[in-house]
Amino acid sequence: MKLKSYRFMSQKDFTYSIMMMDGDPAAFILEDEKRAMKVRGETRIPEGVYAIKYRRILTPMTEKYRNRFDWFRWHLQLMNVPNFNYVYMHIGNTDEDTDACLLMGDTCDLTPPTDDGFIGESTSCFKRNYLKICDELDLNNPVSIQIYDQIPIS
């Protein structure tokens, strides 16, 4: 499975993207802002292609998700992100909910843009996409995401 995420709005404190799965829109993504120099917990990851794998370590965040959701297995981690560790895909609504991770939602607040950005219906969006990604990982099929800094114009 190859996911694609196209960044379409970059503001002072956040970035919006649209994630495609099998050629169809699957989620809005909210992440941190672009910075020339990385600031821990305040900088989006660079564009590129990243494998997605389970992080099979029981962390406090994993326990929190498992206690909250009976369908949750392990966190989905983007692998080998230059200068970043433990970049996940997960639930959240604003830039305050991410430290370089990709937050998923079905809605996106575009007018007017808030200081922290806002995506809504995050839990239902995450569950739907998470389960599809997990189905592939459970079959040992490779899953990756290609992140673009802009929407390509053809």
Could you tell me if residue 114 is inside a domain?
no
Residue 154 has pLDDT above 70, yes or no: no
Containing structural domain, residue 9:
2-103+120-148
Could you tell me if residue 139 is inside a domain?
yes
Mean pLDDT of the chain: 93
Q: Where do runs of H (alpha helix) occur along 1-154?
A: 60-68, 122-138
- Token pair 């430290």 is at which residue? 99
Cβ–Cβ under 8 Å, residues 104 and 27: yes
124-138 per-position pLDDT tens digit: 999 999 999 999 999
pTM assigned to the model: 0.93
27-58 per-position pLDDT tens digit: 999 999 888 888 888 889 999 999 999 999 99
Could you tell me if residue 115 is inside a domain?
no
Residue 151 has pLDDT above 80, yes or no: no
DSSP secondary structure letter of residue 150:
S
The pLDDT score that the predictor gives to residue 111 is 78
Q: How many domains does the chain have?
A: 1
**Nearest partner of 54 among 141, 122, 146, judged by Cα:** 141
Could you tell me if residue 14 is inside a domain?
yes
